[in-house]
Amino acid sequence: MDTVIIGSGISGISAGYHLQKGGEKVVIYEKDNNWGGLCGNFTIDGFRFDRFVHFTFADNEYIRNLFEESSPTYAHPSISSNYYKGYWLKHPAQNNIAPLTVDEKVDIIKGFINRKTKPFEEIKDYDEWLRVQYGDYFAENFPFKYTRKYWGLEPKELETKWVGNRMHTPNIDEVLKGSYETQEKIFYYTSHMKYPKKGGFRSILNKCREGLDIRFNKEVVEINPLEKYIKFSDGTKENYKRLISSLPLPEIVKMIKSCPEEVINCADKLHNTCGYMVSLGFKRPDVPKHLWFYIYDEDILASRVYSPSMKSLDNVPNGCSSLQAEIFFDCKSEIPSKEVVMKNTIEKLVSMGLFKEDEIIVKDIRFEKYANITFDKNIYTNRKVVLDYLKNQNIETIGRFGKWEYYWTHQAFKSGMDTVKNEEK
Ligand SMILES: Cc1cc2nc3c(=O)[nH]c(=O)nc-3n(C[C@H](O)[C@H](O)[C@H](O)COP(=O)(O)OP(=O)(O)OC[C@H]3O[C@@H](n4cnc5c(N)ncnc54)[C@H](O)[C@@H]3O)c2cc1C
């Protein structure tokens, strides 16, 4: 085969679509029995669940149009909520502290006014970044706690370039206004979140997926860059002229027998989060009150919960609704069992008053080994060693885990498109 792509996630689909359009002969090998990767979904008794919360907010017109041509979408306003010690605060919490007790509001506002200022270039880590943006009290009680839940690390262990526009940094007027009343304005990095009307999130790829040769249940277990072949877990082998991989960096280096130890060590030091999805289907239509919300309390394992049925009613049977809770860990930490996570999630969501246990008609828990890329302080050095090595072996990498970047779907898609440019070089 001329060009072999490993992985049928959004980056692999995009690479395949664009290369094939340019006349290249392409085949995609996928270890699962279906396409989409993290953009994929699964269905249980008529309840469809994506693999973690997914919306599109592609900024590139060409990509946005391709997604829209694939499937009509709903545009949901980016309104979400935060759960903190029994209070519900509109997102972002730093601008909407009105529901809290007077004492806590005073602590937050005092902390904000007295926060130290520092130019971005001089800030040494995420811990300091949070203190500089929000003041000590808010930083320690909100994002510090969320960091431990979402990233599984202490804020001191993270660097800051990844933050970008992901977190709103308010001025004093916004903090004060939000301490009197919940603000109408949306402070999210995008005003709307789009979601396909039918077929789950991966429908944004319907057009690109059409006509692609994807071979399923083909898990790559060995790569030989010298002799230019890959081997699969079923014992078969495929030669290639060009190899494009969306495999996670820590996995691909282990598949190359000749890979130097230094490279394997660097890949080993990369951090990512892994996570459970607890998916729940309910026999009544009105369980979810928020499209998604964040949970700060540390005794509740779930850090974020969203509603597939609010994304689209196509995701549930008539008269029903659904939620999916996300529970993350650092990949190198001890991970609790499925039973522990399921029990904690259901008990805590019930105690938050979201539903009664006997209203659940579908429950499922599954684990993803690769969720988010973690920007610990050594990521750039370790990642460079691995990427330079793969480039020398003429292996092109794409996607969130192939580039080891905090890519949204449209960025992972773009990295697949860029394989066309690589070829033109
Ligand atoms: C919790 C969470 C929420 C997110 N929310 C959003 C959102 O709202 N909006 C947004 O734009 N982005 C979101 N993202 C990001 C988005 O999911 C990713 O950027 C994108 O899906 C990555 O696609 P990919 O093709 O790079 O990787 P993947 O989707 O991981 O694709 C890789 C493919 O390779 C296959 N594979 C792995 N190993 C092998 C092997 N050995 N042999 C063969 N095949 C193999 C996998 O099965 C998979 O299909 C979110 C991500 C997470 C974790």
Q: Please indicate, yes or no, if residue 88 is contained in any of the structural domains.
A: no
Question: Residue range 339-347: average pLDDT?
Answer: 98
Q: In the 8-state DSSP scheme, what is residue 122?
A: G
pLDDT-derived band at 162, boundaries 50, 70, 90: confident
Distance 323 CA to ligand 1 centre (A): 21
Are 338 and 276 in contact by the 8 Å Cβ rule? The answer is: yes
Residue 403 Cβ < 6 Å to ligand 1: no
Q: How far is CA 118 from CA 115, 124, 131, 158, 164, in A?
A: 10, 10, 10, 18, 17
What is the rounded distance in angstroms from the CA atom of residue 419 to the CA atom of residue 271? Answer: 26
Token pair of 164, please? 């970008």
Q: What is the CATH number of the domain that holds 21?
A: 3.50.50.60
Exposure string over 346-363, b if 16+ CB within 10 A, otherwise e: bebbeebebbeeebbbbe
pLDDT-derived band at 425, boundaries 50, 70, 90: very low
The torsion angles phi and psi of 112, rounded to 5 degrees, stand at -65, -45
The torsion angles phi and psi of 164, rounded to 5 degrees, stand at 45, -130
Our count of domains for the chain comes to: 3
Answer yes or no: do 206 and 297 share one domain.
no
Answer yes or no: do 165 and 295 share one domain.
no
Stated pTM of the model = 0.95
Mutation choice for ligand 1 from 216, 246, 251, CB with most ligand atoms inside 8 A: 246
Distance 39 CA to ligand 1 centre (A): 6
| pLDDT tens digit sequence for 354-389 | 999 999 999 999 999 999 999 999 999 999 999 999
Answer yes or no: do 157 and 115 share one domain.
yes
What is the rounded distance in angstroms from the CA atom of residue 27 to the CA atom of residue 214? Answer: 6
Q: Which of 73-77, 182-186, 281-285 has the lowest mean pLDDT?
A: 182-186
Q: Please indicate, yes or no, if residue 180 is contained in any of the structural domains.
A: no
Answer yes or no: do 61 and 135 share one domain.
no
Q: What is the CATH number of the domain that holds 355?
A: 3.90.660.20
Distance 341 CA to ligand 1 centre (A): 23
Q: What is the largest CA-CA distance in the chain?
A: 69
Answer yes or no: do 293 and 341 share one domain.
yes
Residue 371 Cβ < 6 Å to ligand 1: yes
Dihedral sign, Cα of residue 338, residue 340, residue 344, residue 346: positive
Answer yes or no: do 305 and 290 share one domain.
yes
Nearest-5° angle of CA 13, CA 18, CA 19? 100
Q: Please indicate, yes or no, if residue 409 is contained in any of the structural domains.
A: yes
Answer yes or no: do 204 and 194 share one domain.
no
Answer yes or no: do 117 and 17 share one domain.
no
Q: Which of 185-189, 190-194, 237-241, 390-394 has the lowest mean pLDDT?
A: 185-189
Q: Which of 77-81, 158-162, 188-192, 389-393 has the lowest mean pLDDT?
A: 188-192
What is the rounded distance in angstroms from the CA atom of residue 252 to the CA atom of residue 268? Answer: 11
Distance 217 CA to ligand 1 centre (A): 17
What is the rounded distance in angstroms from the CA atom of residue 114 to the CA atom of residue 132? Answer: 10
Assess whether the previous peptide bond of 308 is cis (omega < 30° from 0).
no
pLDDT at 165 over 80: no
Residue whose Cα lies nearest atom 26 of ligand 1: it is 399
Residue 7 Cβ < 6 Å to ligand 1: yes
Token pair of 145, please? 């706690």
pLDDT-derived band at 302, boundaries 50, 70, 90: very high
What is the rounded distance in angstroms from the CA atom of residue 406 to the CA atom of residue 394? Answer: 23
| pLDDT tens digit sequence for 33-83 | 999 999 999 999 999 999 999 999 999 999 999 999 999 999 999 999 999
pLDDT at 186 over 80: no
Q: Please indicate, yes or no, if residue 26 is contained in any of the structural domains.
A: yes
What is the rounded distance in angstroms from the CA atom of residue 254 to the CA atom of residue 231? Answer: 13
Give the whole-number percent of the chain exceeding pLDDT 70.
Answer: 99
Q: Please indicate, yes or no, if residue 183 is contained in any of the structural domains.
A: no
| pLDDT tens digit sequence for 11-21 | 999 999 999 99
Q: Please indicate, yes or no, if residue 302 is contained in any of the structural domains.
A: yes
pLDDT at 212 over 80: yes
Give the model's pLDDT for residue 424.
54
Token pair of 400, please? 């969130």
Domain span at 388: 3-40+200-269+377-424
Question: Residue range 116-143: average pLDDT?
Answer: 93
Distance 368 CA to ligand 1 centre (A): 10
**What is the secondary structure of 164-178 as a DSSP string?**
TTSS----HHHHHHH
Residue 10 Cβ < 6 Å to ligand 1: yes
Distance 69 CA to ligand 1 centre (A): 21
Mean of the per-residue pLDDT values of the chain = 95
Answer yes or no: do 61 and 98 share one domain.
no
Give the model's pLDDT for residue 96.
93
Answer yes or no: do 260 and 336 share one domain.
no
Residue 32 Cβ < 6 Å to ligand 1: yes
